[in-house]
A and B are shown apart, each in its own frame.
Chain A
Amino acid sequence: MSEKKRKQTPAKKGWKDIAIGGIIENAPTSLVNKTGDWRAFRPVWDKEKCINCMICVAYCPDMCIPVEGDKRKETDFDYCKGCGICATVCPVKCIKMEEEGKFRE
Chain B
Amino acid sequence: MNKAQPLTGAGAVSQAMRQIDPDVVAAYPITPQSPIVEGFARFVADGKVRAEMIRVESEHSALSAVVGSAFAGARTMTATSSAGLALMHEILGVASGLRAPIVMPIANRALSAPINIHCDHSDTMGAREMGWMQVYAENAQEAYENTLLSMRLAEHKDVLTPIMPCMDGFITSHGVENVVIHDDAPVKEFIGEYKFPFNLLDYKHPITVGAIELTDYLFETKRQQVEAMEQVPKVLPGIAKELAKITGNEFDVVEEYHTNDADAIVMTMSSASGTTKTVVDKLRKEGKKVGLLKLRMFRPFSYERVAKALEGAKAVAVLDRAASYGAHAPIYSDVLNALFDSSSKPKLQSYVFGIGGRDVSDFHIEAVFEKLLKGEVTGREEYINLRE
Would you call B211 an interface residue if the criterion is a C-beta within 8 Å of the partner chain's C-beta atoms? Answer: yes
B193-229, CB under 8 A of A: which get 1 and which 0? 0000010000001111111010011111101100110
Query: Which of A12-20, A62-70, A95-103 contacts the other chain?
Result: A12-20
Contact partners of B198 in chain A: CB under 8 A: 21, 23
Q: Decide: A15 and B211 in contact? CB cutoff 8 A.
A: no
- Are A20 and B224 in contact, CB atoms less than 8 angstroms apart? yes
Q: Which residues of chain B come closer than 8 Å to A18, judged between CB atoms?
A: 217, 220-221, 224
Whole-angstrom CA separation of A12 from B223 in the bound complex: 15
Q: Known contacts A27-B206, A27-B207, A27-B208: does B98 contact A21 (CB below 8 Å)?
A: yes
With a CB–CB cut-off of 8 A, which chain A residues contact B223? 15
A23 to B97, CA, bound (A): 10
Q: Mark A24-37, 1 if CB is under 8 A from B, else 0.
A: 11011100000000
Contact A14 B209 (CB under 8 A): no
Q: How far is the CB of B220 from chain A (nearest CB, A)?
A: 4
B220 touches A21 (CB 8 A): no
Q: Which residues of B contact A14 (CB under 8 A)?
A: 220
The answer to whether A22 and B207 touch (CB under 8 A), given A15-B221, A15-B223, A15-B224, is: no
What is the distance, in angstroms, from B106's C-beta to the closest C-beta of chain A? 23
Interface size on B, residues (CB 8 A): 24
Closest A residue to B160 by beta carbon equals A20
CA distance in complex: A15, B97 (Å):
14
* Interface size of A in residues (CB-CB distance below 8 Å): 14
For residue A21, which residues in chain B have a CB less than 8 angstroms away from its CB? 97-100, 160, 198, 209, 221, 224
Pairwise interchain contact A22-B213, C-beta atoms closer than 8 A: yes
How far apart sit A21 and B223, CA to CA, in the bound complex (Å)?
10
**Chain B min CB distance to A86 (Å):** 26
Report the Cα distance A18→B205, complex, angstroms. 17
How far apart are the CA atoms of A14 and B219 in the complex, in Å? 10
Q: Which residues of A contact B209 (CB under 8 A)?
A: 21, 23
> Contacting B211 at CB < 8 Å: which of A20, A24, A28?
A24
Least distance between A12 CB and chain B CB atoms (Å): 6
A15–B227 Cα gap in the complex (Å)? 10
- How far is A22 from B211 in the complex, measured between Cα atoms in Å? 7
Chain A residues with Cβ under 8 A from B220's Cβ?
Answer: 13-15, 18
Pairwise interchain contact A25-B205, C-beta atoms closer than 8 A = yes
Query: Which residues of B have CB within 8 Å of A13?
Result: 220
Whole-angstrom distance between the Cβ of A90 and the nearest chain B Cβ: 31
Docked complex Cα distance between A21 and B227 (Å): 12
Q: Which of B115-157 contact A (CB under 8 A)?
A: none
Can you name the residue of chain B whose Cβ is closest to the Cβ of A9?
B216
- Shortest beta-carbon distance from A30 to chain B in Å: 9
B210's partner among A22, A25, A27 (CB-CB below 8 A) is A22
Distance in angstroms between the alpha carbons of A28 and B211 in the assembled complex? 13
Kindly list chain A residues whose C-beta atoms are within 8 Å of the C-beta of B160.
20-21
Alpha-carbon gap, A13 to B216, bound state (A) = 10
Bound Cα distance from A15 to B223, whole angstroms = 7
The reply to whether A23 and B224 contact each other, CB–CB distance below 8 Å, is no
* Contact surface of B with A, Cβ cutoff 8 Å: 97-100, 160, 198, 205-211, 213, 216-221, 223-224, 227-228
Known: A13-B220, A20-B221. 19 other contacts (CB 8 A): A12-B216, A12-B217, A15-B219, A15-B221, A20-B228, A21-B97, A21-B98, A21-B160, A21-B209, A22-B213, A22-B218, A22-B221, A23-B207, A23-B208, A24-B208, A24-B211, A25-B205, A25-B207, A27-B207
9 tightest Cβ-Cβ pairs between the two chains A and B: A15-B220, A24-B208, A21-B99, A27-B206, A15-B223, A21-B98, A22-B221, A20-B99, A22-B213
